[in-house]
């Protein structure tokens, strides 16, 4: 059986990334794919890119990699501050590297056509969550002008939402790796919540099967991994982080800094958000 470790959404969190890479090494997995968003949020962005380039066989471009990698004009306010701060953490070679990463990648494993991308086959920052309408989730299987082939995928693997998830429909499977460095919980309620540490570990996915095989009569399996890491150590070097309080709340408590933005992306019509 071949194994592929699939990681995503590191967001400058060096301690989380090192913990994941050490765990992958202990499991004797040598093939690692990264689904993007290496940069933004944490201060260790250059170090994270360096480790990804050294350890990953395939790296996909995330929306943050694209946003901060490209030259941009017309930004103002917090968007401009974020842009300037994040780019100050990256050298010119890295900025060029981020801009030129591929949009997606496809391969066969145990007879399944597997397509990996950051967020959506049509758009690099389109948010599709596990409670979305089935029609929106089904779009993830479809080809687009950005995909390698024009075939519908049997399995799609993506990141972007920062929430580990697996769904099955139409004899196809959607897998979300979750986030290495910035996992969040979308559904929060003080009376219903369990311990935040169930969410805030470093998350990734292991895919097992016969890599490159088009024989569907073969075993395939999916394993979600969640690892504790030293969050306080990660925060030691973040004194210059321009959004430090928000970053602390995200990596310590799993609270995304702009929940309204997520709810606006999801189809939650008919759901009373106050009663989630």
pLDDT band at residue 188 using 50, 70 and 90 as cut-offs: confident
DSSP notation for 252-276: HH---TTHHHHHHHS--TT--GGG-
Percent above pLDDT 70 for the chain: 93
pLDDT tens-digit readout, 237-275: 999 999 999 999 999 999 888 766 666 666 554 555 555
Overall domain count for the chain: 1
- For residue 69, count other CB atoms closer than 10 A to its CB: 22
Residues 131, 9: contact at Cβ < 8 Å? Answer: no
CA nearest neighbour of 116 among 47, 213, 32: 32
Q: How far apart are CA 45 and CA 89, in angstroms?
A: 6
- The answer to whether residue 236 scores a pLDDT higher than 80 is yes
Q: How far apart are CA 240 and CA 81, in angstroms?
A: 12
**Domain assignment of residue 40, given as a range:** 2-275
In this predicted structure, what is the pLDDT of residue 203? 98
- For residue 236, count other CB atoms closer than 10 A to its CB: 10
pLDDT band at residue 159 using 50, 70 and 90 as cut-offs: very high
pLDDT band at residue 276 using 50, 70 and 90 as cut-offs: low
In this predicted structure, what is the pLDDT of residue 257? 80
Instruction: Give kind and range of the element (H or E) at residue 174.
Output: strand 172-176
- The answer to whether residue 181 scores a pLDDT higher than 90 is yes
Name the residue with higher pLDDT: 222 or 263.
Answer: 222
CA nearest neighbour of 200 among 179, 217, 214: 179
Phi, psi angles (nearest 5°) of residue 173 = -130, 135
In this predicted structure, what is the pLDDT of residue 133? 86
In this predicted structure, what is the pLDDT of residue 264? 64
CATH assignment at residue 48: 3.60.21.10
In this predicted structure, what is the pLDDT of residue 129? 86
Q: Is 170 helix (H, G, I), strand (E, B) or coil?
A: coil
Task: Pick the range with the lowest mean pLDDT from 15-24, 71-80, 204-213.
Answer: 71-80
- The answer to whether residue 167 scores a pLDDT higher than 70 is yes
Rounded to 10°, the helix 45-55/14-26 angle is 20
Average pLDDT along the chain:
93
pLDDT tens-digit readout, 117-146: 999 999 999 999 887 889 999 999 999 999
Mean pLDDT of 201-222: 98
Q: How many residues does the chain have?
A: 276
Alpha helices in 100-144 (DSSP H): 134-138
Mean pLDDT of 8-16: 98
């Amino acid at each position: 059986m071949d194994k592929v470790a699939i990681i995503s959404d590191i967001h400058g969190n060096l301690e989380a990334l090192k913990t994941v890479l050490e765990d992958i090494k202990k499991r004797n997995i040598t093939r690692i794919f990264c689904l993007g968003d290496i940069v933004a949020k944490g201060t260790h962005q250059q170090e994270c890119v360096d480790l990804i380039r050294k350890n990953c066989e395939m790296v996909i471009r995330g929306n943050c990699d694209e946003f901060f990698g490209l030259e941009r004009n017309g930004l103002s306010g917090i968007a401009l501050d974020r842009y300037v701060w994040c780019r100050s953490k990256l050298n010119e070679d890295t900025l060029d590297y981020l801009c030129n990463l591929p949009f997606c990648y496809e391969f066969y494993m145990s007879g399944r056509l597997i397509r990996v991308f950051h967020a959506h086959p049509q758009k690099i920052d389109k948010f599709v969550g596990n409670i979305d309408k089935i029609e929106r989730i089904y779009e993830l299987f479809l080809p687009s002008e950005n995909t390698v082939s024009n075939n519908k995928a049997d399995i799609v693997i993506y990141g972007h939402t920062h929430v580990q998830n697996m769904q099955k429909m139409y004899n196809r499977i959607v897998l979300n790796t979750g986030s290495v460095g910035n996992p969040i919980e979308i559904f929060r309620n003080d009376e219903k919540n369990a311990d935040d540490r169930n969410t805030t570990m470093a998350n990734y996915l292991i895919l097992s099967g016969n890599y490159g095989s088009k024989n569907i009569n073969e075993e395939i399996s999916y394993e979600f991994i969640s690892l504790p890491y030293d969050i306080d150590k990660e925060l030691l070097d973040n004194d210059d982080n321009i959004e430090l309080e928000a970053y602390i709340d995200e990596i310590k408590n799993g609270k995304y800094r702009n929940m309204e933005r997520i709810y606006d992306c999801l189809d939650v019509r008919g759901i009373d958000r106050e009663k989630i």
